Amino acid sequence: MRESEWLVERFEQRRGHLRAVAYRMLGSLSEADDALQEVWLRLSRSDRSDIDNLDAWLTTVVGRVCLNMLRSRERRREDLVGVRVPDPIVSGEHGIDPADEVLLADSVGLALLVVIETLTPAERLAFVLHDMFAVSFDEIGPMVERSPAAARQLASRARRRVQGEAKVPDADLTEQQEVVDAFFAAARDGDFDRLVGRLDRDVVLRADDGPDKPPTVLRGAAAVARASLAGVGSGRTLRTALVNGAPGAVLLERGRPVSILGFTVVQGQIAEIDAIRDPERLRRLISPASADKPSTSAAALRRQLLGLTLFARGLGRIPDEEVVAPDERERQPRRRR
């Protein structure tokens, strides 16, 4: 096998891992793919004799590429206020796209991705690479031009924010779906009181309407209920779906997707709703075929239930003193909790 063929094969073997790193860093499927293209270009132009450990080199490079993309994004969006709603992974008729399945292996729900969006680029890199992919602070430090100790502090600060803000959804996916179904039934019936009853008192609705518009944020059961009554109007239909492994829906008007809705259900009530209404993002994230039918794959449901159980057991809820650096334990490609 020629070296070029070997390089392509090794890169393809690591593509899923690299895309998972990029998706968690960027919260965007299309930007994650752009990052992988840049990583491949750098690899194809590199001198193989300078690379001692290809897997570590690839992870380091994708981290650097994503860090640069985040900093560039910050400059472009500096005049906009609010947290961007990340790209959701929406199941289709046959469940999750195999190319996206690895992205949900650790149940990265929208609730967690939204909190990651609030971190600085350096905090995000330190948290994602160390806590999710077991990269040592000795490797992370040079990426953010800081010492390993300073990189550890970045991850610790990010971890505290995640612990304090990320909602942990109920573990039972069926019960979550029942809550969301009841919410939609009340909205279709125009029953304001029933709708409020399905919402947490401090529920938050975030909606992304486009790249040049600040995200819409509504807080409180009454405000979210009024918006929901207006949103699920006549002439619109709902198709249930799994959105990042949790109950969700695609809202259609005359058969055309107008919104993707993801729900976070905590203690039997809806605590967060994330909506994508940007037409361009909808075109990228949903095909007409996948929007037209609900997900009915039992295997996909089982996989997502397992992921939600793992998430509820403690993703982002590990105290600092229990987070062991990778160089102090056996190195693994992905941390399990």
Looking at the domain assignment, is residue 110 inside a domain? no
- Are residues 294 and 181 both part of a single domain? yes
Final residue of a structural domain among 63, 79, 95:
79
- DSSP, collapsed to helix, strand or coil, labels residue 109 as coil
pLDDT per residue, tens digit, the chain (337 aa), is: 577 788 889 899 999 999 999 999 999 999 999 999 999 999 988 887 788 899 999 999 999 999 999 999 887 665 555 678 899 989 865 555 656 655 665 556 888 899 999 999 999 999 999 999 999 999 999 999 999 999 999 999 999 999 988 888 998 999 999 999 999 999 999 999 999 999 999 999 999 988 778 889 999 999 999 999 988 866 789 999 999 989 999 999 988 999 999 999 999 999 999 999 999 999 988 865 444 444 433 344 344 444 444 344 444 443 443 344 333 333 444 443 3
What angle, 0 to 180 degrees and rounded to 10, lies between the N-to-C axes of helices 298-312 and 173-189?
A: 100
* Total Cβ atoms within 10 A of residue 28: 20
Same domain, 181 and 291: yes
Helix 3-26 with 29-45: angle, nearest 10 deg: 150
Q: What is the span of the domain harbouring residue 212?
A: 173-298
In a domain, 239, yes or no: yes
Specify if 268 maps to a domain: yes
Q: Which residues of 103-123 are buried (b: 16+ CB within 10 A; e: fewer)?
A: bbbbbbbbbbbbbbbebebbb
CA-to-CA distance for 308 and 149, rounded, in angstroms? 33
Boundary-marking domain end, from 79, 105, 120: 79
Please indicate, yes or no, if residue 132 is contained in any of the structural domains: no
List strand residue ranges (DSSP E) for the chain, in order.
Answer: 199-208, 216-219, 236-243, 246-253, 256-266, 269-276
Rounded Cα–Cα distance for residues 83 and 202 (Å): 17
CATH number at residue 242: 3.10.450.50
Structural domains counted in the chain: 2
- Residue written as tokens 């279709």? 188
Q: Is 277 inside a domain boundary?
A: yes
In a domain, 24, yes or no: yes
